[in-house]
């Protein structure tokens, strides 16, 4: 017997309807690309998204069309997403930090018909557009007064484009499994792979993200996603924010420490989210210039492992709780968050910080397991590590055009490519990317753990550990360090600092000081580049 409840398709535009109806006057504040702060509300965002949808519909766009965006977090970018979603088209976020040829490759793969682009990236778009034959029209996210001189064909300002619609439009209805968004993974190995979200997966994922043990968002919050909407589906903030009715603060192009500090305090942000490198910049800014964060209650940190020193600084120096998070583009992206369950609420000081180096536990909708290479499940003892696999309604079932099929098995388990262990309370900890793990004499050494400790050294700004060839042990760890400005720690002081904190055989065989560590387009340490550059590095122990 089937139940007798209504079919109510989980469509993304229902989220902005809800926000406009019940939280209509809640603010959406942005640092605009043009410079000044801009203030609007959910009801206004919805009204303008409807105009955009109407205009797109009139121009012949609809279900299944890929519409790219290359933009900072602003109200216009948010409106674009909902306008695109409301006709069943697909927002396809582009990461402007990729090389132009990579972006063109991705756009051609997706066959994007339109591009919404910020002023900042017009020059970049001029390089790319001629290489993307499917591209018909370009909307520059500004008004006529700020339209730049451009060689882009068929370019129009966003305000003019919108202005030609009156907003008398109703969202289109379609199956909740319709594609809603596209985001390509960085492709550190091989070509980038397209992840395709559905309306249903976005809505379910946002509902999961709102839960108290996850982001715990409410209408009383002021949420600032520093993580760009173009990174891993914006960590769900474009949906979970409006769904909760919280105010949204959009940092626009101001991603440096001073700008982030200014907007956090000026706009009384209560919760914010970004990768560790952003928070490092903020903390360094505050260390230098002073400051306080009286309104901020929690900061979500993920994308790469959050160093213990960052967590300690936020909590001990500024009274802000850190929520360590792990996820992937393929998971919409949130997989686990490290909120404190009653089992650990007694922890304080170092013991609490130890717990917070873990990536945490999943919300309802994410199943996880850890297996060995033969796909046998490993025990949840907090130390046995293996391949981390996940499944759930907001986890990819395959990549666009069936790439990377080997990562999915018949029971829908997706192999994340991460190596992790899980403790008896379900707290997961990433020990490495499978391809970064160091195999020394057949045993695995976790590079992340050593890096986390090394950045706790008072003179260290950033650290990376890679495996370097060794005649006896196959590979041994090399610690690569960028010192803080004006400091010059010695190799011995680093080794002394690690001594006693890690197993003896995990001790790096050498320490190399460099000026800059290469990063990926999403702010992660680019170990492939480091490994290539240091391929012939001669360890003193070799
Ligand atoms: P991209 O690969 O395009 O940079 P993703 O955000 O999809 O973007 O990357 C996901 C990967 O990032 C994860 O598989 C994991 O290796 C790493 N990652 C994300 N969050 C964390 C974290 N908190 N700790 C360690 N690694 C993390």
Q: What CATH number did the domain enclosing 420 receive? A: 2.30.38.10
How many Å lie between the centroid of ligand 1 and the Cα of residue 304? 5
Is the pLDDT confidence value at 465 over 80?
yes
Q: Kindly state whether residue 239 falls inside one of the protein's structural domains.
A: yes
Task: Tell me how far apart the alpha carbons of residues 421 and 369 are, in angstroms, rounded to a whole number.
Answer: 9
> In terms of domains, do 383 and 504 share one?
no
Q: What is the pLDDT of residues 204-219, one digit of tens each?
A: 999 999 999 999 999 9
d(CA 129, CA 124): 9
- What is the CATH classification number for the domain harbouring 64? 3.40.50.12780
Q: Is 75 a catalytic residue?
A: no
Strands ordered across the beta sheet of 114-117: 155-157, 137-140, 114-117, 66-70, 90-93, 179-184, 194-198
Q: Are residues 408 and 527 in the same domain?
A: no
Say yes or no: CB of residue 360 within 6 Å of ligand 1. Answer: no
Confidence class of residue 341 from pLDDT cuts 50, 70 and 90? very high
Averaged pLDDT of the chain: 95
CB distance 41 to 26 below 8 Å: yes
Count, residues in the chain: 542
On whether residue 346 sits in a domain, the answer given is no
Can you give the pLDDT at residue 149? 96
| Same-domain check for residues 26 and 65 | yes
- Given a cut of 90, is residue 268 above it in pLDDT? yes
Closest residue CA from atom 13 of ligand 1: 328
Same domain? For 69 and 105 the reply is yes
pLDDT band with cut points at 50, 70 and 90 for residue 189: low
Instruction: Point out the domain boundary residue: 433, 449, 472.
Output: 433
495/429 same-domain check:
no
Report if residue 202 sits inside a domain: yes
Whether the CB-CB separation of 362 and 395 falls below 8 Å is answered with no
Ligand 1 within 6 A of 245 CB?
Answer: no
Judge if the beta carbon of residue 195 lies within 6 A of ligand 1: no
110 and 232 fall within a common domain: yes
- Residue 221 belongs to some domain of the structure: yes
In a domain, 344, yes or no: no
- Which atom of ligand 1 lies closest to the CA of 328? 7
Q: Is 330 marked active-site?
A: yes
Task: State the distance from the centre of ligand 1 to the C-alpha of 333, rounded, in angstroms.
Answer: 9
**Percentage of residues in the chain with pLDDT exceeding 70?**
99
Domain boundary among 193, 226, 254: 254
CATH code, 461? 3.30.300.30
pLDDT surpassing 60 at residue 57: yes
User: Is the pLDDT confidence value at 522 over 90?
Assistant: no
Selected catalytic residue, list 297, 444, 501, 529: 444
**Domain of 527, in residue numbers:** 438-533
- Among 221, 254, 287, identify where a domain stops: 254
Residues forming a β-bridge with 70: 117
Give the model confidence (pLDDT) of 236-266 as tens digits: 999 999 999 999 999 999 999 999 999 999 9
Whether residue 305 lies inside any domain: the answer is no
185 classed as catalytic:
yes
pLDDT band at 355 (very low <50, low <70, confident <90, very high): very high
Question: Looking at the structure, do residues 128 and 247 belong to the same domain, yes or no?
Answer: yes
Q: Is the CB of 430 under 6 A from ligand 1?
A: yes
> Is residue 350 in some structural domain?
no
pLDDT at 188 over 60: no
33 pLDDT above the threshold of 90: yes
C-beta 368 within 6 A of ligand 1: no
DSSP string, 249-284: EE-TT--SHHHHHHHHHHTT-SEEEE-HHHHHHHHH
- Which atom of ligand 1 has the smallest separation from the CA of 301? 23
Tokens coding 416? 């994340």
Q: What is the pLDDT of residue 434?
A: 86
Q: How far apart are CA 290 and CA 99, in angstroms?
A: 36
150 given a catalytic annotation:
no
| Contact present, 325 and 300 (Cβ < 8 Å) | yes
Q: Do 466 and 422 sit in the same domain of this protein?
A: no
- Mutual angle of helices 13-22 and 199-210, in 10-degree steps: 50
The total domain count for the chain is: 3
Give domain status of residue 158, yes or no. yes
**Looking at ligand 1, which residue's alpha carbon is closest to its atom 19?**
303
What is the reported pLDDT for 407?
A: 92
Q: Is 359 in the pocket of ligand 1 (CB under 6 A)?
A: yes
| Spatial CB neighbours of 149, under 8 Å, sequence gap ≥ 6 | none
Helix (H) or strand (E) holding 289, with range, is helix 276-289
Kindly tell me if the per-residue pLDDT of 523 is higher than 90: no
Query: pLDDT by residue (tens digit) across 140-165?
Result: 999 999 999 999 999 999 999 999 99
- The CB of 332 under 6 Å from ligand 1? The reply is no
In a shared domain, residues 239 and 169: yes
Q: Which of 93, 185, 237, 365 is catalytic?
A: 185
Task: Tell me: do 416 and 514 sit in the same domain.
Answer: no
What pLDDT, on a 0 to 100 scale, did the predictor assign at position 187? 58
Domain shared by 385 and 503, yes or no: no
The catalytically annotated residue of 330, 451, 462, 475 is: 330
Torsion of CA 393, 394, 395, 398, to 10 degrees: 90
Task: Tell me: do 390 and 494 sit in the same domain.
Answer: no
């Amino acid at each position: 017997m089937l139940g007798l409840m209504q079919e109510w398709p989980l469509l993304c535009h229902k989220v902005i309807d809800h926000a406009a109806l019940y939280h209509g006057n809640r603010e959406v504040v942005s640092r605009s690309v043009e410079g000044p702060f801009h203030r609007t509300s959910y009801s206004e965002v919805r009204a303008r998204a409807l105009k955009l949808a109407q205009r797109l519909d009139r121009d012949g766009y609809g279900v299944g069309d890929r519409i790219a965006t290359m933009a900072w977090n602003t109200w216009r970018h948010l409106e674009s997403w909902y306008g695109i979603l409301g006709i069943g088209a697909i927002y396809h976020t582009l990461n402007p930090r990729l090389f132009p040829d990579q972006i063109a490759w991705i756009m051609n793969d997706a066959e994007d018909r339109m591009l919404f682009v910020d002023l900042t990236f017009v020059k970049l778009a001029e390089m790319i557009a001629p290489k993307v034959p499917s591209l018909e029209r370009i909307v520059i996210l500004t008004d006529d007064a700020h339209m730049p001189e451009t060689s882009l064909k068929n370019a129009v300002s966003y305000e003019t484009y919108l202005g030609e619609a009156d907003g008398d439009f109703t969202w289109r209805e379609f199956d909740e499994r319709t594609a809603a968004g596209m985001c390509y993974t960085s492709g550190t190995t091989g070509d980038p792979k397209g992840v395709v979200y559905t309306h249903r997966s976005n809505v379910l994922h946002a509902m999961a993200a709102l839960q108290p043990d996850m982001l715990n968002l409410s209408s009383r919050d002021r949420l600032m996603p520093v993580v760009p909407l173009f990174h891993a589906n914006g960590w769900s903030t474009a949906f979970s924010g409006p769904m909760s009715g919280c105010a949204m603060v959009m940092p626009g192009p101001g991603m440096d420490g001073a700008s982030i500090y200014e907007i956090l305090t000026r706009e009384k942000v209560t919760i914010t989210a970004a990768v560790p490198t952003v928070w490092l910049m903020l903390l360094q800014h505050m260390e230098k210039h002073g400051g306080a964060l009286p309104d901020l209650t929690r900061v979500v940190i993920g994308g790469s492992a959050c160093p213990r020193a960052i967590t300690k600084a936020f909590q001990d120096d500024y009274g802000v709780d850190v929520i360590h998070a792990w996820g992937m583009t393929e998971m919409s992206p949130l997989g686990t968050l490290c909120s404190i369950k009653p089992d650990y609420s007694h922890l304080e000081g170092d013991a609490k910080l130890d717990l917070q180096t873990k990536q945490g536990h999943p919300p309802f909708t994410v199943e996880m397991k850890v297996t060995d290479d033969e796909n046998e499940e490993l025990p949840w003892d907090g130390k046995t590590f293996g391949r981390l696999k996940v499944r759930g309604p907001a986890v990819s079932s395959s990549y666009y055009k069936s790439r990377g099929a080997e990562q999915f098995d018949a029971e829908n388990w997706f192999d994340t490519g991460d190596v992790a262990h899980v403790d008896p309370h379900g707290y997961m900890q990433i020990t490495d990317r499978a391809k970064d793990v160091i195999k020394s004499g057949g045993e695995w050494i976790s590079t992340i753990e050593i890096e986390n400790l090394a950045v706790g050294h008072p003179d260290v700004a950033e650290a990376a550990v890679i495996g370097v060839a060794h005649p006896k042990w196959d590979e041994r760890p090399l610690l690569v360090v960028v010192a803080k400005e004006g400091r010059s720690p010695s190799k011995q002081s680093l080794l002394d600092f690690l001594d006693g904190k890690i197993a003896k055989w995990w001790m790096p065989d050498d320490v190399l000081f460099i000026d800059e560590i290469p990063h990926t387009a999403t702010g992660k340490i680019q170990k492939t580049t480091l490994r290539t550059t240091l391929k012939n590095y001669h360890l003193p122990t070799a």
